[in-house]
Amino acid sequence: MQTQQLVPKALKQTLTYVLQNSSFYKKTLNGLIDNVEDISFSEWKKIPFTHKDDISENNLDFLAVPMSEIADMVTTSGTMGDPVTIYLSRSDLKRLAINERDSLSLAGVKEGDLVQLTTTMDRQFMAGIAYYLGIQELKAGIIRIGPGLPELQWSSILKYKPRVLIAVPSFILILIDYAKKNGIDLAANSVETIVCIGESIRDDEFNLNVLGQRITNDWEVNLYSTYACTEMATAFTECHAQQGCHLNENLLFLEVLDEDGIEVGDGEEGEIVITTIATTGTPLVRYKTGDIAKRFTQKCSCGSTSPRLGPIVGRKNQMIKFKGTTIFPQTIYDIFDVIEEVICFKVIVSKDELHNDLITILLQKELIDTSIHKTIIEKCQSRLKVIPSFKFEPLETIQAQVYKKNLRKPEKIVFI
């Protein structure tokens, strides 16, 4: 691991590289830095932030090598606006492999393991290719099943006996439901570890949240949390201590900032801002991810001194203002994830004629006018302080809206 003393050197190397090779940063940083070799942290803090809109509006200007040197192109999922392209050189792919090798190792994946991948490898999805490269770098085996198809997932688990799954937590609930309905013994299969992506499984105290508890109540597996976004081309992953997701300091520089751009204290919430290290295709400097989390800097019980991130609280552009109350989507998820009878749900946020937010929850029609429906209303009143609208549809209809074939992640919430 890189020491804190070496971080300024890595940042200088990144700055030197973008000033020489990135059209965007040549323009935006022109005249702001007198001498990269002598730059102080106070000067670093004056460097303007890079935003998602910057990349979206000037995508090719972020390309820092000739197009002929690009080995792969990935796109963002589009959950925070229009998808953007991140260009990866061959050295970036090697960096991606090393990142995921180290990340999966933190979660206890080891040489010789067999890993079943339940996320897509296609549709320009960075996570899929990252996991594949990392597992190869780790000298483990991989079963590339892809998303959905619980019958095929279980057929593969029972036939090939993978020790590890990589999956979205809400999809694990569908696997559990399928197992129960089809006589599959959850206590007698090969899966010991599930590396969770795309959704939080822990609360502020690092205990399993309601989604994580619901999984482990039925399936005795070890869950590991991760955090990543396509733009950073790096993952934060839990170690066995499970006290936050570790930063790989060789690959990324992390800032966690308040609304005024000031570094937050230990254990305080702020926006995640990253600077990539050792990327050549699409290097980024002070990129604001829009994700809100807590940062922890005390030494982890695993022995690592690298900073860690707590669970993602929410995204700045996904704050919902409903009847005078500010709500993050995760707060809504926590209500429905804990109710076993709710197999799948979707949150729809729309606007009324006065442009106020409205919340509608899609639930399976079997729950209408039941005691579970009453319980849901009570929990919404208690947790949200307000009651959203409900719409009841067949379970298959809701699952089709959440697990869309053209999307790489479950769409549990949509803003219209």
Q: What is the pLDDT of residues 128-138, one digit of tens each?
A: 899 999 999 99
- CA-based angle 109:112:114, to the nearest 5? 70
pLDDT score at 7: 42
Domain-terminating residue out of 285, 313, 341: 313
Q: Are residues 36 and 126 in the same domain?
A: yes
> CB-based burial of residue 189 (10 Å sphere; 0-12 exposed, 13-18 middle, 19+ buried)?
middle
Domain-terminating residue out of 313, 333, 349: 313
Domain that holds residue 361: 319-415
CA distance 127 to 47: 29
**DSSP-derived secondary structure letter, 202:** B
CA distance 169 to 354: 36
pLDDT score at 121: 82
pLDDT tens digits, 29-84: 988 887 888 888 888 988 999 999 999 999 999 999 999 999 999 988 655 556 78
Q: Tell me which H or E stretch contains 196.
A: strand 193-196
Domain-terminating residue out of 276, 293, 313: 313
In this structure, of 26-35, 184-193, 314-323, the range with the lowest mean pLDDT score is 314-323
Q: Do 315 and 291 contact (CB within 8 A), yes or no? A: yes
Q: Are residues 281 and 398 in the same domain?
A: no
181-199: average pLDDT: 95
CATH number for position 397 = 3.30.300.30
Residue 182: pLDDT above 80? yes
Tell me the pTM. Answer: 0.80
pLDDT score at 77: 63
Q: Are residues 45 and 126 in the same domain?
A: yes
In this structure, of 13-17, 43-47, 150-154, the range with the lowest mean pLDDT score is 43-47
Q: Are residues 348 and 289 in the same domain?
A: no
Q: Are residues 67 and 159 in the same domain?
A: yes
Residue 282: pLDDT above 50? yes
CATH number for position 129 = 3.40.50.12780
The band of 314, judged by pLDDT with boundaries at 50, 70 and 90, is: confident
Three-state SS at 101? helix
The count of domains in the chain is 2
